[in-house]
A and B are shown apart, each in its own frame.
Chain A
Amino acid sequence: MDAVEIDDARSVKVQRDDGPMYASRVRVYPKAVSGQFRRLKWAALIVLLSVYYVLPWLRWDRGPDAPDQAVLADMVHGRFYFFWIEIWPQQVYYLTGLLLLATLGVFLASSIAGRAWCGYACPQTVWTDLFLWVERQIEGDRGARIRRDKAPYRPGNLVRKFAKHAAWLVVAAVTGGVWIAYFVDARVAVPAIVEGRASTTVYFFFALFTATTYLLAGWAREQVCTYMCPWPRFQSAMLDEDSFVVTYKAWRGEPRGRHVKDASWEGRGDCIACNQCVAVCPTGIDIRDGLQLQCIGCGLCVDACNAVMAKIGRPPELIGYATERNAQASRAAGGAAPARTRLFRPRTVLYVMLMVAIGGAMLWSLAFRAALDINVLHERNPLFVALSDGSVRNGYTVKILNMTHDRRVYTLAVRSPAGAEIRVVGHEGAEGRSAVLAAEPDSVATFRVYLTLPRAALTGESLPAIFALTDGARGETALRQTVFRGPAK
């Protein structure tokens, strides 16, 4: 059996002076750890950061009139591009749908595996993990950092601190720069930022996101999760007795105490009070106090404890992901009770059904959405004009939204009121029941249109007016209903 390192780590809760109204910050020095959950966290970090840093550089050909960046929120021209999908501002409901899906996804993950989002995928966790890694490379692990911070001033320590903050700022600047690349073409924005040619606005946002990354991931860290994030406040509502949460199995671990090599395990628990679970915790809690607000469910204490259990020859999972129901059963049995996993519960099924419904609706609408839309504004000043032959004329502003990347020719026809003649200003030849109009690629074409109705056909003060716009090449038709007004009889 290998020697187990005993740490004198104490949780933030114990160290903090709970007396005054304002608490000093207790610095957390998370210790490096290895194990399956740490590997999972590294994998999540590598995948997520790769997506973030690489995505703006991917290209997607959309023809000569549109940007070729695969993912781009073009704020200036009001377009959002995602590979083959192009979203116009009035279709921002897709964003609403995505936010709903994200919310339900986090609900689902929480009800199954506790705060898995917080522990593995939240940007705050991912970037903090990255910054902690940088810190360890420069300043060493927990023990070395604590010693140096306590030691009197030495130039070497100062150099290390300086190097760490410089490295953090570099990471933060890259993060901030890539953020800009999601809004301005990466191949334009990034060189411009580096060479000092970018606009003040770009530099402002670059500085803003660099500063927030540096402050939140370098300085604030667990303070964000503990004090700023609303999620921990309602985690109790998101969890139930079948959610897997990081659990210290007290019925197995207690009574805890230091263990002398080869001594008997009779009458005592498996916890040898080595405090490794506290030393590795990124939020500075003692999981042996039970589930608490600060726990982000990352499972690093599970890795730490399992390594210790292996060394002292006891079974693993003294700390592990467990449900409250299983924990209670084991507690009642005075030992391990058979574990039950209930993934299909009313709430998880409901979350999945809602996600499928919303996601399905979004996909359906994306697949079948028109590349064509028409807006018609009825002229209000004047509402109508009586002409010299007694007929009545109404004016309309017709906007044709051509969402394709080619110039398109459309037929604008009037389906109601019966007998109305259409005239488009600037297309004086086009009189009758329909007119042929063109719209440039990826743009809105605006036309002034008059409908004239003989007095005899005016059957009421207000008639429905229906415009039909047909794209001849694609056979697609967009309809829009408005009103045709005439004088009171």
Chain B
Amino acid sequence: MAGDLDRDALTGKPTTGHEWDGIRELNNPLPKWWLYVLYATILWAAVYVVLFPAIPWFSGHSRGVLGWSMRGEFAERWAEGRAKQSEFQARIVAASIEEIRADPRLLNYALAGGRAAFADNCAPCHAPGGAGRKGGFPVLADDDWLWGGTLEAIEQTIRHGVRGSGAESRQSVMPAFGADGTLTEAQIADVAAHVLTLSGGAADDSANRGKAIFAEQCTACHGADGKGVAELGGPNLADRIWLYGGAKHEIAAQIAKPRIGVMPAWQGRLDPAAIKMLAVYVHALGGGK
């Protein structure tokens, strides 16, 4: 076979016979074992195709004689993780919220579980991390609570919801002072001016006129000093946090025809452990009392 190959005139080495623009490629033969390694990898691929899922069909794919699948392995790992969780899950159900907070490992588990449950169920309205959303979805990370910021109060709110049909649901309704004709537009403007003074705004004549109306109409729910009554769901008007905006016209609009939010009751939709973990998580977002 050597005789079939041309030899390069200069070096005397055989060439492959391939020629491009007058340049001929010298033959530097590859060792045979290298070729055999290539064959071995082909053989390996053939064995692999038989043993493992490899060939796609129009629907599905070949299964491989070992029966292994990535999904199957994932399911196994998932089940292993679930089994490890079940011990904690049982302890969370049995423990009181205070006991959970006292045990660092349980607390850690509850915070992680609460974070996951929050992302799945609560974040659509309250935003990730409890950052809240404009238009009446309260921030859960601040120090202002409509229905109380203790662990018990938070758990109660999650369990029974706000303004739902359940017997224990949080209930509060603010009258539409403008829409039902209780107050005139001018009176509403005066009340709004007064409300702004509660959180440090300067008082003017309008605000002074509004003060009397406030004392008459609003103090039952918002308190004499406007600091709110959490048991009744009367929001604190003397702080710098506004659910529907803190500009005067926004406050006036809320007095005239209030927007009122609702929150579903999660008891029955989430298991008891998840509700406890959520309460612990929300409490730890930064504003828990």
Q: Which residues of B contact A442 (CB under 8 A)?
A: none
Residue contact A25 to B33, C-beta cutoff 8 Å: yes
The SS class assigned to the A binding surface is loop
Inter-chain contact total with CB atoms closer than 8 Å:
89
Stretch at the interface among A88-96, A128-136, A183-191, A388-396: A388-396
Q: How far is the CA of A382 from the CA of B142 in the complex (A)?
A: 10
How far, in Å, is A457 (CB) from chain B's closest CB? Answer: 15
B187 sits at the interface (CB 8 A)? no
Q: How far does the Cβ of B100 sit from chain A's closest Cβ, in whole Å?
A: 15
Min C-beta distance of B221 to chain A, whole Å: 18
Q: Determine whether B113 belongs to the interface, using a CB cutoff of 8 Å to chain A.
A: no
Listed A/B pairs (21) with beta-carbon separation below 8 Å: A17-B2, A18-B13, A19-B5, A19-B27, A20-B2, A21-B30, A22-B30, A22-B35, A23-B29, A380-B129, A382-B132, A383-B131, A385-B139, A385-B141, A385-B286, A388-B144, A388-B241, A393-B142, A395-B141, A395-B286, A425-B284
Instruction: Quote the shortest CB–CB distance from A284 to chain B (angstroms).
Output: 13
Extra 8 A-B pairs, beta carbons < 8 Å, given A19-B29, A386-B240: A22-B29, A223-B33, A227-B34, A381-B129, A382-B129, A382-B141, A383-B131, A385-B287
Residue B130 lies at the interface, judged by CB distance under 8 Å to chain A: yes
Q: Is the CB of A18 within 8 A of B240?
A: no
Q: Are B142 and A385 within 8 A (Cβ)?
A: yes
A310 proximal to B (CB < 8 A): no
Q: Quote the shortest CB–CB distance from A171 to chain B (angstroms).
A: 22
Check if B114 is an interface residue, CB within 8 A of chain A: no
- Please give me the residue from chain A that is nearest to B239 by CB atom: A388
Chain B residue at smallest Cβ distance from A390: B240
> Once the chains bind, are A18 and B14 in contact (CB under 8 Å)?
yes
Q: Which residue of B lies closest to A391 (CB)?
A: B240
Binary contact readout B222-255 vs A (1 if CB under 8 angstroms, 0 otherwise)? 0000000000000010011100000000000000
Name the B residues within 8 Å of A20 (CB-CB): 1-2, 29
The complex places the Cα of A21 from the Cα of B15 at a distance, in Å, of 10
B31 within 8 A of A: yes
Q: Does A47 contact B (CB under 8 A)?
A: no
> How would residues 348 to 377 of chain A score, 1 for a CB under 8 Å from any chain B CB and 0 otherwise?
000000000000000000000000000000
The B interface is mostly helix, strand or loop, or mixed, namely loop
Residues in A whose Cβ lies below 8 Å from that of B131: 381-383, 385
Question: Contact: A22 with B2, CB < 8 Å?
Answer: no
Question: What string of 1s and 0s marks CB contacts (under 8 Å) between A222-264 and chain B?
Answer: 0100010000000000000000000000000000000000000
Q: How far is the CB of A446 from chain B (nearest CB, A)?
A: 11
A388–B200 Cα distance when bound, in Å, is 12
CA distance A25 to B199 in the complex (A): 92
- Give the residues in chain B near A386, CB-CB below 8 Å: 139, 142, 240-241
Bound complex: CA A455 to CA B30 (Å) = 76
Assembled-state Cα–Cα distance A16/B28 (Å): 11
Q: Is the pair B139, A223 in contact by a Cβ cutoff of 8 Å?
A: no
Minimal Cβ-Cβ distance residue in A for B1: A19
Q: B32 near A: Cβ within 8 Å?
A: yes
Report how far A389 CA is from B13 CA in the complex, Å: 90
Question: B286 and A22: CB pair below 8 A?
Answer: no
Indicate which residue in A22, A385, A450 contacts B31 across the interface (CB closer than 8 Å). A22
The answer for the CA separation of A35 and B142 in the assembled complex, in Å, is 84
Is A379 part of the contact surface with B, judged by Cβ < 8 Å?
Answer: yes
- Which residue in B14, B32, B139, B141 is a CB contact (below 8 Å) of A24? B32
CB distance from B101 to the nearest CB of A (A): 11
Q: Which of B5, B31, B236 contacts A227 (CB 8 A)?
A: B31
Asked whether any CB of chain B lies closer than 8 Å to the CB of A387, the reply is: yes
Contact status A18-B27, CB under 8 Å = yes
CB distance from B18 to the nearest CB of A (A): 11
Please give, as numbers and ranges, the residues of chain A lying within 8 Å of B130 by CB-CB distance. Answer: 382
Q: Which A-chain residue is minimally distant from B2 (CB atoms)?
A: A19
Q: A388-B236, A393-B286 are in contact. Are A381 and B142 (CB under 8 A)?
A: no
Taking a contact as CB atoms under 8 Å apart, the answer to whether A381 and B127 are in contact is yes
B: which residues have CB within 8 A of A?
1-5, 13-14, 16, 27, 29-35, 127-132, 139, 141-144, 199, 236, 239-241, 284, 286-287
| Closest residue on chain B to residue A19 by CB atoms | B2
Chain B nearest CB from A291 CB (Å) reads 16
- Which residue of the partner chain, among B30, B32, B143, B284, contacts A387 with CB atoms under 8 Å? B143
- Residues of A near B142 (CB, < 8 A) are 385-388, 393
Q: What mask results when residues 14 to 41 of chain A are scored 1 for a CB within 8 Å of chain B, else 0?
A: 0011111111110000000000000000
Q: Which of A25, A381, A385, A425 contacts B32 (CB 8 A)?
A: A25
- A18 to chain B: which residues have CB within 8 Å? 2, 13-14, 27, 29
What residues on B are CB-neighbors of A425 within 8 Å? 284
- Residue among A381, A383, A425 facing the most chain B CB atoms (10 A cut-off): A381
Closest B residue to A425 by beta carbon equals B284
Cα(A425)–Cα(B286), bound, Å:
9
Give the complex CA separation of A84 and B3 in angstroms.
66
Task: Give which listed residue, B3, B13, B31, contacts A223 with CB less than 8 A.
Answer: B31
Point out the residues of chain B lying under 8 angstroms from A379, CB to CB.
129
In the complex, what residue of chain B is closest to A24 when comparing beta carbons? Answer: B32
The answer for the CA separation of A436 and B229 in the assembled complex, in Å, is: 37
Q: Which residue of A lies closest to B29 (CB)?
A: A23
In the assembly, what is the distance between CA of A23 and CA of B2, in Å? 12
What CA separation (Å) do A455 and B246 show in the bound complex? 16
Q: Kindly list the 8 A-B residue pairs having the minimum CB-CB distance in the complex, ordered from nearest.
A: A19-B2, A381-B129, A382-B131, A388-B239, A23-B29, A390-B240, A381-B128, A388-B144
B142 to chain A, nearest CB (A): 5
B241 cross-chain contacts in A, Cβ below 8 A: 386-388
B240 touches A25 (CB 8 A): no
Nearest Cβ on chain B to A88's Cβ, whole angstroms: 24
User: Once bound together, how far apart are the Cα atoms of A380 and B241, in whole Å?
Assistant: 20
* A259 shortest CB reach to chain B, Å: 29
In the complex, A18→B30 CA distance in Å? 10
- Which chain A residue has the least Cβ–Cβ distance from B144? A388
Whether the pair B14, A23 counts as a contact (CB closer than 8 A) is no
